[in-house]
Structure 1
Amino acid sequence: MPKPYPEEFRRDVVAVARKGNAPMKQVARDFGISEACLHNWLKEADIEDGNKPGLTEEESAELR
């Protein structure tokens, strides 16, 4: 299993991807991650921000 990326790095990558100045493929390449990884981070960020339905990390932790 690959080593997880720091949360700050994830937030920075998501912020750059959301600006929309470059295609997702290019953003992923620039940061050295896969497109699938970037897609997952964007999806998780949308849930955390309340833009999409789903359990936040905090809610998920409470259920455990």
Structure 2
Amino acid sequence: MANGQHSSRWQAIMSISAKTGCPAHTLNEWVKKAEADSGKRAGVPTDAAGKMKALERENREQRRANEILRKASAYFAMAALGRRSK
């Protein structure tokens, strides 16, 4: 970005921010995300981040379901033991 009108990327972002009304911090984050998506900057690309988020959500749901099943199994095991002892 530091080619021509602006001496640094931040100055270019500040200029664009003033013209568009979008906060400079937001523009800077968008630029960094675009660079990560295109491979010009280290970081997790947007599509991979979305997939990771979905997998983490699925993992939480599976843990929750496993906990419910574990408790249900323990409950029915105790009920079965209680019936046998009578």
Measure, in 1, the Cα distance between the counterparts of 2:49 and 2:23: 25
In structure 2, the gaps of 5 or more residues are 7-11, 54-86
Q: Which of 1 and 2 has greater Rg?
A: 2
Aligned residues: 47
Match of 1:41 among 13, 30, 38: 30
* Cα distance between partner residues in 1 of 2:13 and 2:47: 28
TM-score (norm 2): 0.46
37, 40, 44: which is aligned to 1:55?
A: 44
> What's the secondary structure of 2:27's corresponding residue?
helix
Unmatched 5+ stretches in structure 1:
1-17
Residue type at the aligned position of 2:27: L
Could you list the per-position Cα deviations for residues 6-39 of structure 1 after superposition, in whole angstroms to 9, with x for gaps in the alignment? xxxxxxxxxxxx4753532111111111111111
| Structure (1/2) with the larger helix percentage | 2
User: What TM-score do you get using the length of structure 1 for normalisation?
Assistant: 0.59
Q: Which protein, 1 or 2, shows the higher relative CO under an 8 Å CA cutoff with sep ≥ 6?
A: 1
